[in-house]
Chains A and B, each alone.
Chain A
Amino acid sequence: DAGVIQSPRHEVTEMGQEVTLRCKPISGHNSLFWYRQTMMRGLELLIYFNNNVPIDDSGMPEDRFSAKMPNASFSTLKIQPSEPRDSAVYFCASSLSNTGELFFGEGSRLTVL
């Protein structure tokens, strides 16, 4: 079975550039989550969607971050402009129903120089 698919797996970019991370959730799942993981702050929930609608974006660091979910099978997380402090591993996760059992992708490791 296909799990949550994220791309790219690794991204190295320069400060000021736009970064777009992509996620394909598991088919049939109706909730999608974007997390950021760093050594300093651990796992942080950035935003989550339920039935393609953003439910809670209070974790989005600032206006440079935006996320969309145009349909049930695709989501993007965009950072514009990127900064070195955005360097982290970004995880997408999806779930079926609202029990909290999440299925994670393998993550996108972002390095901003």
Chain B
Amino acid sequence: AQSVTQLGSHVSVSEGALVLLRCNYSSSVPPYLFWYVQYPNQGLQLLLKYTTGATLVKGINGFEAEFKKSETSFHLTKPSAHMSDAAEYFCAVSEWGGSTLGRLYFGRGTQLTVWP
């Protein structure tokens, strides 16, 4: 079965500081991995995804994430935080194929606060 653990339900950084949001997953098959962002009163939007190939993936708004199979991790980073990055971030894993075709398993989310 697939599962996702996001370490830290709340992360606070100063504007301009490094953003690091942690995500670890478990999967019985090669996973597809995702980060979604949710702004207040909105639905989730895809930030970036890893399917196959290059393990460092770049997304929108300057975010990137690295798939590390040995660590079963997919941490999200951004070199310099901006006030507009304040939102809730969700890590998710999907298995390709199998009986739960296409289903996403979400973590509990990490609320990012950016201080001026």
Residues of chain A whose beta carbon lies under 8 Å from any beta carbon of chain B: 4, 31, 33, 42-43, 45, 48, 50, 55-56, 91, 93, 95, 97-107
Contact = CB atoms under 8 A, between A and B. Distances in A.
Interface residues of B, number: 27
Nearest to B33: A100
A99 to B, nearest CB: 6
A101 B43 contact: no
B90 A100 contact: no
A98 B43 contact: no
Per DSSP, chain A at the interface is: strand
Contact of B34 (A43, A50, A101, A106): A101
Contacts, number: 65
A42 B108 contact: yes
Interface in B13-59: 32, 34, 36, 41-46, 49, 51
A56 B103 contact: yes
A56 B103 CA distance: 9
